[in-house]
Amino acid sequence: MSLALPPLSLYVHMPWCVRKCPYCDFNSHAAPELVPQAQYIDALLDDLQNDVAAVQGRALTSIFFGGGTPSLFAPDQVGRLLEGVRRHIPFDPAIEITLEANPGTIEHGRFSGYRDAGVNRVSLGAQTFNEEQLKLLGRIHGAGDIARAVEELRQAGLDNFNLDLMYGLPAQNVAQALQDLESALALQPAHLSQYQLTLEPGTVFYHRPPPLPDPDDCWQMQIDSQELLAARGYEQYEVSAYARTGRRSRHNLNYWEFGDYIGIGAGAHGKLTRLDAREVIERTTRVKQPREYLSRSADSRLSERRVVPGEDLPFEFMLNGLRLIEGFNEQAFEARTGLSFEVLGGKIAAAERKGLLEQEGHRQWRATGDGQRFLNDLQELFLPS
């Protein structure tokens, strides 16, 4: 089998927030009084040079500004970065360019500036519409800020927006979780991402856990939410992602389908298929601390570049592909990993016996209902022996 070049995306990490949330384990840092915006954009454009050779004639299908809080950066700086990227890598005519935004950091007219800079999709970190829960989560916005941000988006002509929502919040019950979802749906987003709150190591919540709902209640929240979203015209296409027709996230789909992405910025990760000297898949990592990232020269901002061993590729592929409701097909596995599907024979059979995986059509596989509920158990079956 031979590797084939998959679609290519760009992830841009903006590491600063107004305040660090107690549940967050992302590489985010409380912003200094003056965020060094121009200096950081310069560093990002220099950093891009580390991976330009891996483009190999492809155009970017998507760009995602994540964080942190990218909406702390002015529209003109976002535009300057996009112009600089385009000088080095062509853009697909239908490119999706997403900016994450905190409803509490949006000033009047800001979204129009982002639209003019080239942003055509926004992801709003709503999390919840319950004022008490917002305070417990350490969010700097209120429920009213979410509605105002959505109105700003519509005035700017940015109707392709996502709302991030969480469930399983401290002391939350099923009815409260569904009321949150109703509040989100009232704003008519094109896309909705709904995640269960988990206690991640290294976070404040991990060391001082709040009272979380019973796991069975959390499962009921998920099931009831899926039913409500389906009834309102939102198709679930990934474990935590729902979209109206034609509004699936191209960027996130590229992750889940084991596509390639360049990652630039403090702590950013990348995954690249190389067909030059030898056919390999590489993982890249940038220097994590923003201050160190800014102080380094362009060629030393890359803290790691490693080839993924062949025996790890099945697990890495399944870690992503099994999250998709439609699952994956054998041809995609072979093209994206360079391995024969036969290497999975025993593991596929084991997953079928456990009732976690099923065949759907010709050479197409997907997680069963139990497989989705116990996704970690299913994914672990594909770890190297």
Structure-token pair, residue 257: 């389908």
pLDDT in tens, 285-311: 999 999 999 999 988 999 999 999 999
> Distance between CA 144 and CA 153 in Å, rounded?
14
> Distance between CA 364 and CA 336 in Å, rounded?
15
Helix 37-48 / helix 75-88 crossing angle, nearest 10 deg:
10
Q: Closest Cα to residue 73, out of 125, 117, 8?
A: 117
Domain ranges of the chain: 8-254, 314-380
How many helical (H) and strand (E) elements, i.e. helices and strands, does the chain have? 15, 17
Task: Supply the pTM of this predicted model.
Answer: 0.95
Q: How far is CA 59 from the centre of its chain?
A: 20
Interacting residues of 297 by C-beta distance below 8 A, sequence separation 6+? none
Position 355: which residue type? G
Q: What pLDDT is attached to residue 360?
A: 87
Q: Is the peptide bond before 68 cis (omega within 30 degrees of 0)?
A: yes
Report the pLDDT averaged over residues 73-80: 97
pLDDT in tens, 205-239: 888 889 999 999 999 999 999 999 999 999 999 99
Interacting residues of 201 by C-beta distance below 8 A, sequence separation 6+? 25
Please name the CATH architecture into which domain 8-254 falls.
Answer: Alpha-Beta Barrel (3.20)
Q: What pLDDT is attached to residue 23?
A: 79
Query: What residues are paired with 33 via a beta bridge?
Result: none
> Distance between CA 148 and CA 136 in Å, rounded?
22
> Distance between CA 49 and CA 130 in Å, rounded?
44
pLDDT in tens, 28-63: 888 887 899 999 999 999 999 999 999 999 999 999
Q: What pLDDT is attached to residue 371?
A: 95
pLDDT in tens, 317-372: 999 999 999 999 999 999 999 999 999 989 999 999 999 999 988 899 999 999 99
Q: How far is CA 248 from the centre of its chain?
A: 12
Structure-token pair, residue 358: 């099923």
Structure-token pair, residue 266: 């403090």
Q: How far is CA 255 from the centre of its chain?
A: 8
Q: What pLDDT is attached to residue 48?
A: 97
CB 264 within 8 A of CB 11: yes
Q: What pLDDT is attached to residue 139?
A: 86
Q: What pLDDT is attached to residue 1?
A: 65
- CATH top-level class of 314-380: mainly alpha
The DSSP code for 113 is: H
Report the pLDDT averaged over residues 73-82: 97
> Distance between CA 33 and CA 100 in Å, rounded?
21
> Distance between CA 21 and CA 169 in Å, rounded?
14
Q: What pLDDT is attached to residue 137?
A: 84
More confident residue, 175 or 135: 175
Query: Kindly report the CA angle at 204 between 198 and 207, in degrees rounded to 5?
Result: 85
Q: What pLDDT is attached to residue 343?
A: 94
CB 240 within 8 A of CB 194: yes
pLDDT in tens, 102-143: 998 887 889 999 999 999 999 999 999 999 998 888 888 888
3-class DSSP state of 13: strand
Q: What pLDDT is attached to residue 385?
A: 80
Position 310: which residue type? G
* Rama region for 68: left / alpha / beta (φ>0; ψ in -120 to 50; rest): left
